[in-house]
């Protein structure tokens, strides 16, 4: 039986009907079991914009789940906060009424050692980026329009909800592509990025700086056809999940599905699995090795 290196999912909001913004400890544990069965060894539960009170509650729940994890569960490696410190111009599905300016004072309302990644709009920064660096938290540019990514570790879901590429200005997407020092998340689910854009990314960005993510919604791997997510009604038509106004809310595919999609297109490289390990300074010893019938069709 072939052993496969576990996948690391650093950006997903839930699956199997479980939403990290509302989940109980038991639900978070059950989800980590299901993720492990799919070949995912480590996860960063990702919290969408919400009230400070709700975010603090869910951070505590994720911490409690982390302490109760057992063999056969994808390890909770930290929280990814994708919300609150975003630019309203690129809010996507997020509810801007909960947005705060990216200051150390505002962050301290949420601060916790389990926070490992913060997505924010660097053009709005008022000292938070340096504060996060001082605490070993990765800063990713997302839901933003700014082009100065010099203090960022990465870019959140490249091209989606960020300043686009045009021929007269440098905005976020172009800056992320051209900066070989930072990592860039991509959602290669066949909906968020076209094949031509994927080809552009793979030709432009160093292969070892591309992070595969799902940005999966709780709808993924569930029977749900609608739900409330980020204070919005989200509808799933069997292909994509969108708000009432047509905004894509996130993906309905998990990371193993995305790896298969890339394999079938001839775009997959094992380096893409390695990158998350390098980005987070992880080793395989961190996980119980996945040695069950985990097979990625279409990938050599």
Give me the DSSP letters along 168-211.
S---HHHHHHH-TTSEEEE--SSSSS-HHHHHHHHHHS-GGGEE
| pLDDT of res. 285 | 66
Domains and CATH numbers, the chain: 9-286 (3.20.20.140)
| pLDDT of res. 129 | 98
Q: Residue 66 and residue 70: Cα distance in Å, rounded?
A: 9
197 CB-contact burial (10 Å; exposed 0-12 / middle 13-18 / buried 19+): middle
Residues in the chain: 300
Per-residue pLDDT tens, the chain, 300 aa: give them: 345 589 999 999 999 999 999 999 999 999 999 999 999 999 999 999 999 999 999 999 999 999 999 999 999 999 999 999 999 999 999 999 999 999 999 999 999 999 999 999 999 999 999 999 999 999 999 999 999 999 999 999 999 999 999 888 899 999 999 999 999 999 999 999 999 999 999 999 999 999 999 999 999 999 999 999 999 999 999 999 999 999 999 999 999 999 999 999 999 999 999 999 999 999 876 664 444 434 433 333
300 CB-contact burial (10 Å; exposed 0-12 / middle 13-18 / buried 19+): exposed
Which residues have a Cβ under 8 Å from the Cβ of 170 and sit 6 or more positions away?
Answer: 147
The whole-model pTM stands at 0.94
CA-based nearest residue to 49, from 106, 125, 134: 106
Q: Residue 42 and residue 176: Cα distance in Å, rounded?
A: 25
Residue 282: how many CB atoms within 10 A of its CB?
A: 17
CA-to-CA separations, 182 to 37, 116, 285, in angstroms, rounded:
31, 16, 25
Q: Residue 51 and residue 7: Cα distance in Å, rounded?
A: 31
| SS3 state of residue 61 | helix
Dump the DSSP string for 225-273: SEEEETTEEEEE-SS-EEETT--EEEBSS-HHHHHHHHHHTT---THHH
Q: Residue 140 and residue 152: Cα distance in Å, rounded?
A: 6
Name 115's bridge partners. 79
């Amino acid at each position: 039986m072939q052993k496969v290196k576990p996948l690391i999912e650093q950006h997903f909001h839930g699956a199997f009907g479980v939403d990290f913004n509302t989940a109980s400890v038991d639900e978070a544990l059950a989800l980590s079991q299901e993720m492990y069965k799919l070949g995912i060894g480590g996860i960063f539960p990702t919290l969408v914009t919400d009230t400070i009170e709700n975010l603090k509650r869910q951070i505590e729940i994720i911490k409690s789940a982390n302490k109760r994890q057992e063999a056969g569960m994808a390890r909770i490696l930290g929280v990814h906060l994708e919300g609150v410190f975003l630019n309203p111009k690129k809010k996507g599905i997020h509810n801007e009424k909960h947005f705060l300016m990216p200051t150390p004072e505002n962050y301290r309302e949420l601060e916790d050692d389990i926070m490992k990644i913060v997505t924010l709009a660097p053009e709005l920064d008022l000292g938070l980026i340096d504060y996060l660096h001082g605490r070993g938290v990765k800063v990713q540019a997302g839901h933003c329009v700014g082009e100065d990514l010099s203090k960022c570790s990465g870019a959140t879901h490249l091209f989606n909800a960020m300043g686009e590429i045009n021929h007269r200005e440098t905005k976020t997407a172009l800056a992320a592509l051209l900066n070989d020092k930072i990592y860039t998340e991509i959602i290669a689910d066949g909906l968020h990025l076209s094949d031509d854009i994927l080809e552009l990314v793979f030709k432009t960005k160093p292969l070892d700086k591309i992070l595969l993510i799902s940005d999966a919604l709780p709808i993924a791997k569930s029977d749900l056809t609608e739900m409330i997510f980020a204070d919005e009604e989200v509808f799933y038509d069997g292909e994509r999940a969108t708000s009432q106004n047509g905004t894509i809310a996130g993906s309905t595919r998990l990371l193993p599905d995305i790896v298969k999609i890339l394999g079938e297109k001839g775009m997959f490289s094992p380096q893409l699995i390695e990158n998350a390990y390098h980005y987070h300074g992880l080793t395989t010893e961190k996980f119980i090795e996945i040695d069950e019938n985990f097979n990625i069709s279409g990938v050599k």
